[in-house]
Chain A
């Protein structure tokens, strides 16, 4: 239950974020979720999109430095404590989260949490055992 996340290197310069989104728009790529991490020098844009392989090629051919990472999408009820309950499970299982971000589904009362782990395979196994609901690539795209 892994899904593909695209990451893009962005220099802290006017207009660069716009150029990434314009490139995707021009090529009919739809964003599902994104997060931007930044330092004083540069930023890393992380994207979940409907056509990840295509998006990767398009960004590459437009001279962006890009990477493809596997992440996990966990679905939780969109209510108080939704995130905390998942984190509690991870805490107990001694799972270290590299980073995470979240978005709310528009067609249901659920929220989706995107997690990045270093030791993904091991973590996946544990999360499945704990009965967390993880979404497939197709499910995320069709949300």
Chain B
């Protein structure tokens, strides 16, 4: 198994911290001088670049939030001359103004490097064929994977998202060995593939890189069984660089964060206090080496914790546990915090239940109600009402015992829950609070 950048990915802790420290010192100095947004924030906190002497001083620096990035739209966070920008990506902006990532040539090189590291984690080499079903365009997923694949020298099929039947024929015709898409789309591919009579045991796909939405360990098992491949979790976000912030290796025990470039912290989302490694909280990332739009202490809203135990793959970078949810898709049902991924996990344990579900939250008489819509399938269907009702009751009971919330489980017809070709829409919140 190859490590793409053996030198930087296996640095010992002291050397890594030395590198991070020197990079942070340079970054603070540069941003103070070039980006008025950061100068103002640092002035407000009474911090001068000279106060940053070591990576541990990072907690003195201000946070950057999604709102900050929207308020500075389009190019308020630019740290270089506009002529140095060679490519721009933005988020979809479905919930407000989009977030902008402006790349210099150096940033594109960095992106290619970290994506080459990512793909190497799944043992992808020059003789492999990567079918990239992430969307090409302003979305970072498509081109991020593209650049990494080109860097490795593997064959890229830039098929982009959607067109499911074509995806499946291309996969067979060109003997794809690696698949990249969202985990929900991957299961959709499996479903359509089954209808088309494809035996995934006979296809050449050996590994898949799945990200851009939270998924669970049980969903991984489902994907690996249905598509007969090794499913790796990857992590990234437009605010930082796109995909290529962190990735699992074949050990599948957490996502190595490329922390020589993207420095991770875990904080208490309420107080903003830094938490020690191993404690669960909000992930905060600083781009140590990005040139175009460097970001200090970006609050990702993603909940995870950092693992420091030695990974058998030899890489020394700390690993983040697969996402436990987001601070902003966390549902609060009658005072209980619930992540859709937890509900998914419970559903997977019920024999015969498929991972197609939707959560509808509503408020009646000041009380929250959570309806869990689960698609029926032939394995659980019965001609007797009492048997179907008992499945609903079983799921309700299991949700109560593991999450402590009362839910109403409703069986619905197959395919009645929208299958998006991108991110699955899991939650419909009808509450007017």
Contact = CB atoms under 8 A, between A and B. Distances in A.
Interface of A: 5, 7, 9-11, 13, 16, 37-39, 41-42, 44, 46, 63-67, 69, 98-99, 116
Given A41-B411, A44-B382, A65-B381, 6 more contacts: A10-B413, A11-B412, A11-B413, A44-B388, A63-B413, A64-B413
B376 A116 contact: no
Nearest to B410: A41
A45 to B, nearest CB: 9
15 contacts: A7-B382, A7-B383, A9-B376, A9-B381, A10-B413, A16-B413, A38-B385, A41-B410, A42-B388, A44-B383, A65-B378, A65-B413, A66-B378, A67-B382, A98-B384
Interface in B360-385: 376-378, 381-385
Contacts of B385: 37-39, 44
Contacts of B276: none
B137 interface: no
Contacts of B392: 41
B415 interface: yes
B414 interface: yes
Contacts of B169: none
A68 to B, nearest CB: 9
Interface in B413-429: 413-416
Contacts of A63: 413-415
A57 to B, nearest CB: 13
Contacts of A41: 392, 410-411
Contacts of B410: 41-42
A11 B416 contact: yes
Contacts of A99: 384
A39 B413 contact: no
B389 interface: yes
B28 to A, nearest CB: 58
Contacts, number: 55
10 closest Cβ pairs, A-B complex = A7-B383, A11-B413, A69-B383, A41-B410, A65-B381, A65-B376, A9-B376, A37-B385, A67-B381, A67-B383
Interface in B377-415: 377-378, 381-385, 388-389, 392, 410-415
Contacts of B376: 9, 42, 65
Nearest to B413: A11
A41 B385 CA distance: 11
A38 to B, nearest CB: 8
A34 to B, nearest CB: 12
A8 to B, nearest CB: 9
B414 A39 contact: no
B412 A67 contact: no
A5 B384 CA distance: 12
Nearest to B415: A63
Given A11-B416, A65-B377, A42 B383 contact: no
B247 to A, nearest CB: 37
A29 B411 CA distance: 28
Contacts of A116: 383-384
Contacts of B383: 5, 7, 44, 46, 67, 69, 116
Contacts of A9: 376, 381, 388, 411, 413
Nearest to A61: B195
A38 B385 CA distance: 7
A86 to B, nearest CB: 21
Nearest to B375: A65
Instruction: With a 10 A CB-CB cut-off, give which of B388, B392, B416 has the most chain A CB atoms.
Output: B388
A46 B384 CA distance: 10
A38 B416 CA distance: 19
Contacts of A42: 376, 388, 410-412
A11 B415 CA distance: 12
- Interface centre among A11, A63, A65, by most chain B C-beta atoms within 10 angstroms, is A65
Contacts of B411: 9, 41-42
Contacts of B412: 11, 42
B20 to A, nearest CB: 54
B79 to A, nearest CB: 53
A5 B382 CA distance: 12
A72 to B, nearest CB: 14
